[in-house]
Structures are given as C-alpha cells and as structure tokens.
A = this chain, B = another copy of it.
Amino acid sequence: MTVRIMIAEDQTMVRQALVALLELEPDIEVVAEAADGDEALAMAVKHHPDVAVLDIEMPGPNGIEVASQLGRSGFGGKVIIVTTFDRPGYLRAAMTAGASGFLLKDAPAADLAAAIRRVAVGERVVDPSLAAAALAQGDSPLTDRETDVLTAAANHDAVADIAARLHLSSGTVRNHLSASIQKLGARNRAEAVEIAQRKGWL
C-alpha cells in the first residue's frame, strides 16, 4: 500500500527538504531523486515510480517537457507538476503534457502528500486558486506566426536577426510584432514578450 515516488527539483536544499518531509509519511517512499530534466527521464525509466513529482524550472528539459516525454515513452506512472511561479499558462501546458496534478510551492506542505495519494489512485488534483486563474485567463489571442515571431524576439534579438532565422522579410516581422503588441495591450516589444510569457502564451 505504499506509494513509490520520484522527486525532480534542481535546488538541492529544497529537494532534500521535500524528501525529508515526505519520508515522514509512512505510506510514501521516495525511490529516486533528480536534479535536472535529463536525470529525471533516466530515473523514471530506471525506477518506474508510481508518481513523479516534477518542478518546472530545471536545467535541461523542464518539468513539462519531461512530462510529455514520459507520456510518449510508455511511462506507466502519474505526474504531478510543482512550480514556483504562479503562471496560469503553465497549467494548460502541464495538462496537455499529460500531468495528473498541478501544485504551487505556495501551497501548504500537507497538500503535497495528499495530492500524491490522490493521484496515485487515479484522481486529478489541481490547485483551486490556480485553476480559477487559468480559466479567467482564456486562450491566447495570438496567431501561430505571431507567437513564432514573439518567441524568437524573446531573447532580445534585432528584427533583422529574427527575419533571417525565420526566412521572412524584416517588414513582415515588424508587422507580426506590431500586431502582437496591440493585441496584448503592450507598448513595446519587450513588454509584449513579458506579458505573453507571464500568461503562458509562448
């Protein structure tokens, strides 16, 4: 009746603290730890835990990418995403990646153990306040090309570079950026990037 879990979290101190916390639960056993996305993938196939608890912010493939990768590769267990930032956009991404649970680190620690138990028996667990925020946020107003261009602009590149990378005219790139800026109510390319990232639309 014990649940075998894996914890993936890049900050060593936090990871070990979470392990210490969960080891206090008699019916939960931590069978694997991972400090980055690649290690998480390797550990999951090696130890096949019942539940994988994944942080989003990790070196290498992030928690959401790990989740979808596991889903495609026939990993039998469940996935819970735990994240620092409350970016509701992550929720949708996590769900489409096949996660069964989504928690914030702002939540009480007891919620984590509870979520692990419920997910292990097939339920879905989502932080209620986060779910409400995600609903209120809705879908992205950006078209495919606009999100392409905006993601390409996220690393402070000039228009000419973006145009070269996407094989477009610089005028076209400017046009897509302008449309994005207006749709998002931003006053800048930089502000548009920030808004879109915060809402999880990139």
20 CB < 8 A contacts A-B: A11-B84, A11-B104, A11-B105, A11-B106, A12-B109, A13-B105, A13-B107, A13-B108, A14-B14, A14-B17, A14-B105, A16-B21, A16-B108, A17-B20, A17-B21, A20-B20, A20-B21, A156-B188, A158-B188, A190-B190
CA distance A134 to B186 in the complex (A): 35
CA distance A80 to B194 in the complex (A): 31
CB A19 to nearest CB in B, in angstroms, measures 9
CA distance A16 to B112 in the complex (A): 11
Chain B's closest residue to A16 (CB) is B109
In the complex, what residues of B have CB within 8 A of residue A156's CB?
A: 186-188, 190-191, 194
Tell me, yes or no, whether A30 is within 8 Å of chain B by CB.
no
Tell me, yes or no, whether A18 is within 8 Å of chain B by CB.
yes
Tell me, yes or no, whether A24 is within 8 Å of chain B by CB.
yes
Binding site for B on A (CB under 8 A): 10-14, 16-18, 20-21, 24, 82, 84, 103-112, 156, 158, 186-188, 190-191, 194
Do residues A12 and B107 form an inter-chain contact, with CB atoms below 8 A? yes
CA distance A24 to B17 in the complex (A): 11
In the complex, what residues of B have CB within 8 A of residue A17's CB?
A: 14, 17-18, 20-21, 109
In the complex, what residues of B have CB within 8 A of residue A82's CB?
A: 13
In the complex, what residues of B have CB within 8 A of residue A11's CB?
A: 84, 104-106
CA distance A84 to B103 in the complex (A): 19
- Which residue in B13, B105, B188 is a CB contact (below 8 Å) of A12? B105
In the complex, what residues of B have CB within 8 A of residue A112's CB?
A: 13
CA distance A158 to B17 in the complex (A): 44
Chain B's closest residue to A188 (CB) is B156
In the complex, what residues of B have CB within 8 A of residue A191's CB?
A: 156
CB A99 to nearest CB in B, in angstroms, measures 17
